[in-house]
Amino acid sequence: MDIEKVNSMDFGEFVDVFGNVVERCPLIAAAVWSQRPFSDLEDLEKHFFAFIDGLPQAGQEGVLRCHPDLAGCELQRGALSAESLREQSAAGLTSLGAAERLRLAELNAQYRARFGFPFVLAARLRDPEAVLRELARRLRCLPAQELRTALGEVKKIGRLRLADLLGGHPLGP
Ligand code: 2AL
């Protein structure tokens, strides 16, 4: 898909295609549509990220809360979005052994209790060991720093999803 095609989309089509660039936040795609035309993938991406950056803290935490836990109950129930399932599967989180699944559930619960939102990580760039290591490390971070880190991961996920949709290479970090 090229950028001319993106710029020609009506509102409904755009939200259908880009509604899950940010997990379960189609409102962001709905707002970004109003900013067309976009010059290229990077420009489109910039509008998604600027919307997130412009939210008040409660909105940013809301975006994080729209993410399913890694290897959590949505995965067990078969209730993940297609994108999330692909990412969690690429990280090996759909085939964890019982001990790893339990460890991840414990750390996810500790993280949520400490920060008030779920642990978010661009999973497809990792493997289960790296996910557990990063979760244990971030549990010790300060809340303000952790909010910034988590939103950075939301953007990494969005960048990779946009690259999937537009058939391009993801831009640099
Ligand atoms: C996710 C997800 O759904 N996809 C991904 O890369 N990370 N969720 C999360 N809690 O980090």
Choose, from 67, 126, 138, 159, the residue flagged as catalytic: 67
- φ/ψ of 22, rounded to 5, equals -105, 120
Percentage of the residues of the chain whose pLDDT score is greater than 70: 97
101 is written with which tokens?
């699944």
Q: Does the pLDDT at position 171 exceed 80?
A: no
* Domain spans of the chain, in order of start: 3-62, 69-160
Residues with CB under 6 A from ligand 1: 23, 67-70, 84, 87, 118-124, 157
Separation CA 148–CA 144 (nearest Å):
7
Active site residue 67: yes
Sort 159 into a burial class: Cβ within 10 Å, 0-12 / 13-18 / 19+.
Answer: buried
Q: Does the pLDDT at position 53 exceed 90?
A: yes
User: CB of 75 within 8 A of CB of 88?
Assistant: yes
Mutating to test ligand 1, I would choose from 157, 160, 162, 164 the residue with most ligand atoms within 8 A of its C-beta, which is 157
Separation CA 31–CA 53 (nearest Å):
13
User: 98 pLDDT band (50/70/90 cuts)?
Assistant: very high
* Residue 37 preceded by cis peptide, ω within 30: yes
User: 170 pLDDT band (50/70/90 cuts)?
Assistant: low
Homologous superfamily of the 69-160 domain (CATH)? Oxo-4-hydroxy-4-carboxy-5-ureidoimidazoline decarboxylase (1.10.3330.10)
